[in-house]
Amino acid sequence: MYKCNVCGLVLNENPGVCPKCGGKEFTQLTDEQAALYKKSRETDILYIKAIKAAAKIQKLSDLGAEYNLDPNCVSAFKKFKDYGYLIEQISKAELISHSTKGKF
């Protein structure tokens, strides 16, 4: 795997010219770095799926609260919405931390 020295784009092969920024210098990742990159990529995909699921939870929470069946039910849906928001925010923070901690 190769990382563009200018923008950090990681590709399986050295393209010669970076398709993102036009940079021409790449660094080959060590086996350890490549393994870390692959794990990070897989967990990033899971966080993206979690963000999508959290958005669905927040939407259904709004719908559930609108029924206004009783105070406990409305309270439960409001908690669901808060938890959905928390999952979304934690997932976003983890995605950012991956890119800033050398995990690409």
Least distance in angstroms from the C-beta of 80 to Zn ion = 41
Nearer of residues 6 and 50 to Zn ion, judged by Cβ: 6
Burial (Cβ within 10 Å: 0-12, 13-18, ≥19) of residue 84: buried
Least distance in angstroms from the C-beta of 81 to Zn ion = 40
Decide: 80 and 57 in contact? Cβ < 8 Å.
yes
Other residues' Cβ atoms within 10 Å of the Cβ of residue 71: 8
Nearer of residues 4 and 54 to Zn ion, judged by Cβ: 4
Give the footprint of Zn ion on this chain (CB under 5 A).
Answer: 4, 6-7, 9, 18, 20-21, 23
